[in-house]
Amino acid sequence: MVEALPVAKDVAGESGLYLMPIEKMIYLEGISAKKVVAVHTLDDVGYMNGTIKYWETALNSTGYNFKYSFRDILVNLDNVQLLDKFRKNVYFENIVTKNSKKCPIASGATFDEFVKVLQSLNPKLNFI
C-alpha cells in the first residue's frame, strides 16, 4: 500500500516537493480556482494537482478511509478523534483548543450518514 504522496510546499510548486505520509493527512480541501488540493496535517499544509473527486477515488481504492464531510472537503476518518454533534464539526485531537483544526459536516441526511460511517470505523469515538 502507498504510504506517502508527493506534495508541494506552495500552490505553484515553486518551493519544491516533499513526501507527506497519508496516515498524517487529516483532511483534503479542493481549491477549484487553482485546480489543486490542499492537504492538511495537524501542523502542515501541502498541495497536489488534481481534483478532490480524483483523490477521493484514488485514496479509497488504495485502502484508506476518506469521506466527504462538506462541499470540497474530504476527511480522513481514521484520524477523527472528536465529534461535535451540536456544531457539526469533527476534530483531530482529543483536547480541543483555539488552534485545533476542525472540519464541518453537512447537515441533514449527509450528517447522519457521515456519523454512521465514522462510528462503524471507530466505535469508541468521543463526542463533545
Report the domain count for the chain: 1
CA-based end-to-end distance of the chain:
34
Over its length of 128 residues, how does the chain's per-residue pLDDT go in tens digits? 899 999 999 999 999 999 999 999 999 999 988 889 999 999 999 999 999 999 999 999 999 999 999 889 999 999 999 999 999 999 999 999 999 999 999 988 788 889 999 999 988 888 88
Beta-carbon count within 10 A of 104 CB: 16
Do the beta carbons of residue 111 and residue 70 sit within 8 Å? no
Segments forming the whole domain that contains residue 101: 4-127
Give me the CATH number covering residue 42: 2.40.50.1020
The label of the residue with cell 487529516 reads: 26
